[in-house]
Structure 1
């Protein structure tokens, strides 16, 4: 199916935008800021969108690095979004050997699954759509959300809870990956995040230390409380021991943890006063999520008792599973076929072959995986995923784009970025290095932006498509789990932006990591 004249106009707009947006993408790639701390990146988006005539609410939903940009009046309201958070510990320069970006800490953040390109692809689609609607004088309202902290599935659940998606008629979700397709039935699972905070004030003595009081330097010989360092270690090991008792070993579900701070900065004869650990729980069923969270709560309470600590639990996120939409998936697939697949520049192939040599692999004419060069039909991709899933499981992985799908018809699609044929690990440093090579990554986000603009124009210009997609959306909601019809977070939810997530700041010592000071540790577990 060929593109319409209006869609071709949008493609030309993206061609005109490409040089400046390529520079913009490189800025985001260099910033490489982690979840909840994307200060420079979000500001970059806000300034550009305001220059382009969008009205922008910076800090939307009470999240300093989120935003909500709108343009246009009348017609369908189309939701798009940018992401721009990087992964701590994954810094990689655009080189053919393993090396963090110049001037960055060895374990600084870096882009693994190309959120840098994700955001610029959505931005390209939004700007091209806006310019096309201006020239053709068509009605339509564009919503471009700045969705921070996707790596912890953070902002979309908050925006949903606070009503930001309630007026949308349709939304388009885009993510660069190693293949090109639109999702059909298999969507993403839930991600529920919690942070447990252990504190040891030592208000109650751990043991009777009277026997040591008569000794010289008695306080230095006293038995201290186990404290929060031990609590942290016990929480990790206890959860590992109980993991196989959380849910039967079937289907795809995961429990991952990350330590948020380092407790005391020095080793003294005092109990460690504070420690925090973040758990991310991913599974396809609410019952599984609730069961695992309850076991974590029990573990935390027992661990606190063992170590003479008190413990609190604070929610980070609670997302819902995705709600598919075949009508929109069909429309996106037609546009993917008409526009692509993406073609990468000669420099990308030179870089890929150099990576093969560096990794000790056989050097090939085409270093990239076959899926990078084709458009895979949604049903074919769906069947591939189902082969690895039990029949009852309808979602896999985790991404908070699913929140949009409960407020309006939503489609999720991917365009391929170059991935080595002989090393297809998406987060491997060699593949990450290509996110900073223009000839490799620009075609990926350009293709994404073109598909977004073309699909949004389909929705704006063809009432039948939007009507069919809306009818399907309503039917699916009627038979869906009633608990998912409203956001799982309350409308007054306090986003966890104040928790001590890693961030870079400039001090007299230079550019370095710092930890924040939380407003609240959450609910005390008694």
Structure 2
């Protein structure tokens, strides 16, 4: 029955391609960014309800999250999930030249990984498995989660802490590949590491008390902020000082081993005109990736100290708001083996003549002689998890147990979990040539180039769900491995101890008399990039 059910699922994926290809393009064009994926989440909720799922909207107190369930009777509960957040500053049309989506600023959101295909591959797999379960009488439950704000590892720590992953028998995590050797394979031992992100909020709410013990040339002036008076530095100065201190001290915080990273973004600044008024508020977020939590604690001890110094110098107060405390991943070999077997059955992504033509047009646009076979050779190769692990470890120190960043890791502490990667369209280039970021983003939106990723992922997920529903011995093996690994861990509990960080000034689309646009309006430069 398992083979027959798998064939049914694979046929469903192939037969429904025109539909899910259109769905994927729709999410890709929405390109909504972290914590503001309103239309994307709404689409998933409507689609899942139309497919017979019961859906809880705004799960975990997050407006763009959801939790969906479909059951065909008693049996295992297997979970997959969608992500759908895009990245600010990456607006790109699905064309083989640099152009923002029509009417939008080039600084609007765009799908880089792309999470549009991540979510659609997972949805296609879940729906294909559902169709096979209905046809062949396979009992069990499919859970499908909507996970916003992955780019700041946002929702999964919150869902974990609020019990949304309790009671699951297995979890399937898919991502389009973003680095070698993790292409058409599954992780084995070295999973993603922990991550912390926090916003430092600087407020200058009492500028009149700046240097009150100093006689100034504006003493006794009827206007407190007289133009002849030195004003308080304010929040902009605090952010600049925080930024400079942290850049300067980055070289001293930790040795450059273990591939840790620290990135920052200014979410808001000023809130004052260019007048003699102190900037009232500024917010800056720092996000850190590291192989272990001890490193993260050291990084944030330094950041906290820098924030206090910056606030004192600029006559501000400062408060730290957590955005994410995300755990390192827990491996499961049994799940990796089950999933990789289904990847072998699905086969590597296959690119047709239309995809080749699009790739060649992009190469020509960039001044490269179009190649007969423009896609990277690695996209055709399946890599067993053990071999991918061997290649991954070649450049890592022996003590390092985790590498790179993604918040699927919070799920791994609740049920046996697989993390697997499917190739996405990337191009060969002349020696020493690097493609611009927009080129990769464009390929992620051109259906003939991205649909093969969604198809392979959908088949792999559907086959894995069917195996887990029907092979009780193999599922039991995965669950026992999970039990042993979790019991051996020093800290198995969720780290999230904060509310969903939804009320901060995250970049977003807005409705204006000009229509729907990015919060940074399109300019003449953006419009000039559009081609007919």
TM-score, structure 1 as length reference: 0.94
Alignment-derived partner of residue 523 in structure 1: none
Alignment-derived partner of residue 363 in structure 1: 370
Deviations 1:65-124 (A, max 9, x none): 000000003211101000001010011111221111111112110011010011011110
Alignment-derived partner of residue 195 in structure 1: 199
Alignment-derived partner of residue 168 in structure 2: 168
Tell me the distance in 2 between the aligned counterparts of 1:408 and 1:66.
20
Deviations 1:257-300 (A, max 9, x none): 00001322521101100000011111011111111111111110
Tell me the distance in 1 between the aligned counterparts of 2:90 and 2:435.
12
Pairing 1:315–2:339 present: no
Spell out structure 1 runs of 4+ moving beyond 6 A: 214-218, 423-427
Structure 1 residue 177: Cα displacement: 1.5
Alignment-derived partner of residue 478 in structure 2: 469
Pairing 1:443–2:452 present: yes
Tell me the distance in 2 between the aligned counterparts of 1:190 and 1:140.
32
Alignment-derived partner of residue 206 in structure 1: 211
Structure 1 residue 427: Cα displacement: 7.5
Alignment-derived partner of residue 137 in structure 1: 137
Structure 1 residue 203: Cα displacement: 5.0
Tell me the distance in 1 between the aligned counterparts of 2:435 and 2:75.
39
Structure 1 residue 469: Cα displacement: 0.6
Does structure 2 conserve the Cα–Cα contact (< 8 Å) formed by 1:28 and 1:41?
Answer: yes
Structure 1 residue 154: Cα displacement: 0.3
Pick one of 459, 476, 495 that aligns with 2:468. 459
Alignment-derived partner of residue 79 in structure 1: 79
Does structure 2 conserve the Cα–Cα contact (< 8 Å) formed by 1:200 and 1:228?
Answer: yes
Deviations 1:440-459 (A, max 9, x none): 11111111011001011111
Alignment-derived partner of residue 406 in structure 1: 413
Pick one of 481, 488, 495 that aligns with 1:479. 488
Task: State the secondary structure of the residue aligned to 1:133.
Answer: helix
Task: State the secondary structure of the residue aligned to 1:314.
Answer: strand
Distance 1:320 1:31, change over 3 A: same
Alignment-derived partner of residue 68 in structure 1: 67
Over the aligned positions, Cα root-mean-square deviation in angstroms equals 1.9
Alignment of 1:181-192 (within 5 A): 181-192=185-196
Tell me the distance in 1 between the aligned counterparts of 2:435 and 2:22.
24
Structure 1 residue 245: Cα displacement: 2.2
Alignment-derived partner of residue 262 in structure 2: 255
Deviations 1:394-425 (A, max 9, x none): 21111000111000000000111110112896
Structure 1 gaps, min length 5: 516-526
Pick one of 284, 288, 292 that aligns with 1:285. 292
Tell me the distance in 1 between the aligned counterparts of 2:357 and 2:197.
41
Tell me the distance in 1 between the aligned counterparts of 2:99 and 2:344.
37
Structure 1 residue 489: Cα displacement: 0.9
Alignment-derived partner of residue 115 in structure 1: 115
Alignment-derived partner of residue 524 in structure 2: none
Pairing 1:507–2:509 present: no
Deviations 1:24-83 (A, max 9, x none): 111101100001000000000000100111000010000000000000032111010000
Does structure 2 conserve the Cα–Cα contact (< 8 Å) formed by 1:35 and 1:149?
Answer: yes
Tell me the distance in 2 between the aligned counterparts of 1:319 and 1:437.
33
Structure 2 gaps, min length 5: 521-532
Structure 1 residues 383-392 or 505-514, which shifts more? 505-514
Tell me the distance in 2 between the aligned counterparts of 1:245 and 1:393.
20
Does structure 2 conserve the Cα–Cα contact (< 8 Å) formed by 1:348 and 1:434?
Answer: no
Distance 1:509 1:111, change over 3 A: same
Pairing 1:244–2:248 present: no
Task: State the secondary structure of the residue aligned to 1:496.
Answer: coil
Alignment-derived partner of residue 518 in structure 1: none
Alignment of 1:365-444 (within 5 A): 365-422=372-429, 428-444=437-453
Does structure 1 conserve the Cα–Cα contact (< 8 Å) formed by 2:260 and 2:289?
Answer: yes
Does structure 1 conserve the Cα–Cα contact (< 8 Å) formed by 2:92 and 2:106?
Answer: no
Structure 1 residue 204: Cα displacement: 2.1
Tell me the distance in 1 between the aligned counterparts of 2:293 and 2:436.
29
Structure 1 residues 425-434 or 130-139, which shifts more? 425-434
Deviations 1:221-260 (A, max 9, x none): 1001111111000000101111122222211101100000
Alignment of 1:150-165 (within 5 A): 150-165=150-165
Does structure 2 conserve the Cα–Cα contact (< 8 Å) formed by 1:206 and 1:308?
Answer: no
